[in-house]
Structure 1
C-alpha cells in the first residue's frame, strides 16, 4: 500500500494502542530506510538505530518512562540515537534526528502501522543506556518510536495557519 505524501502528512496520528499482530522484518527495514534517507547537515547521517522486539527488554524499557504501558504493548520499538563522533553541529544534528524520526513515522503510517514518538523517556537516558547496554559516551538518546498495528484511531487538531504566521504574505 502506498500513500500520497500529503495524505500521510495530514492524516498520520500518534497511535498509542496496538494489536498483538507481529510487524514483519521487511516493514521494519523499510521504516529504517526511510529514516536513514532524512536530510542531515553535511550529509553526516549521525543517527543510529536499535530495534527492540524482545519482551524482556521492552519490559525493562517500560520502567524507564511514565508511558511504559505503550512500550509494553508495542510490537516493535525503534530506539533512535545520535552517534556523538558523527555529529558536527548539535542544533543541525538534533534537527536531522527530528527529520529522521518524522520520516520513520510517515513510513510506518504508509505501511498501515501505527506509531508514536516517545520523548519523555529522554529524562531517563542513563537508565535506557543501562537497559540497552549502550554507551552514553558514544550515543545520545533522541527518542523511542513505539509501533505496531493500530488498535485505535488517532485524533489531533492544529492551530489555524494564520495563528502561526509571523506576518501575512
Structure 2
C-alpha cells in the first residue's frame, strides 16, 4: 500500500485550518461523529479526562465566547463550537493529561476533515479561561479549558506550508 492509498496518512497531510464557513448548519450526527473521534484518543491509564461542550448558532453562550477571544468573528460564523475541557477529578498527571487533550483535539480535527467539514483549533481562548468558564457557568476548580474547535462547512480550502523535515530532525536518519 502506498502512502497515497492510506486514508489516515492522506487525511493528516490534507487537513488544514479553516476559519471561514458557508453558514450551512452542522448536523447533530456530524457533531456526534466528531466528539466520538475525540473520545477514542489515547489517554494515560485510560482515564479519558476530556469533557466536551457542543454549542450551535443561536445559543447565547456563543456570543459570550466570541467576546473572550480575538477570533470572535470565527466563533460567531461557525456552525458548531466544541469546547474541550479536562475534568480535574479524572486527571492523574497534569503533563500526561494535557498531552492526551492534544491527541483528543487532533482526532476531532481529523474526523471533521474526513466528513467534509472544516475546522480550526482555537487555542488563544485559553488565555481568557476564567472569563470563558464564567460565561459557560462551569467550575474552574473542576474543569480546565483546553481549547474550542470552530467547525462548519468550509467557505474556502485551508492552506499552510510545512518546514522541511530536515530542519525539524535533531539527528538525521
TM-score normalised according to structure 2 size: 0.94
1:20 aligns with 2:10: no
Instruction: Measure the CA separation in 2 of the matches of 1:54 and 1:160.
Output: 39
Where in structure 1 do 4 or more consecutive aligned residues deviate above 2 Å?
none
Deviation (angstroms), 1:7: 1.1
Map of 1:7 onto structure 2: 10
Instruction: Tell me the C-alpha RMSD between the 2 structures.
Output: 0.9
Tell me the number of residue pairs that the alignment of Structure 1 and Structure 2 aligns: 167
Deviation (angstroms), 1:36: 0.4
8 A Cα contact 2:66 2:72, kept in partner: yes
Where does structure 2 lack aligned partners over 5 or more consecutive residues?
A: 1-5
1:51 aligns with 2:50: no
Query: For structure 1, which segment, 106-115 or 48-57, has the greater mean C-alpha deviation from structure 2 after superposition?
Result: 48-57
Where does structure 1 lack aligned partners over 5 or more consecutive residues?
A: none
Instruction: Measure the CA separation in 1 of the matches of 2:76 and 2:168.
Output: 36
Deviation (angstroms), 1:130: 1.1
Map of 1:132 onto structure 2: 136
Aligned partner of residue 106 in structure 2, secondary structure = helix
Instruction: Measure the CA separation in 2 of the matches of 1:57 and 1:139.
Output: 17
Deviation (angstroms), 1:20: 1.0
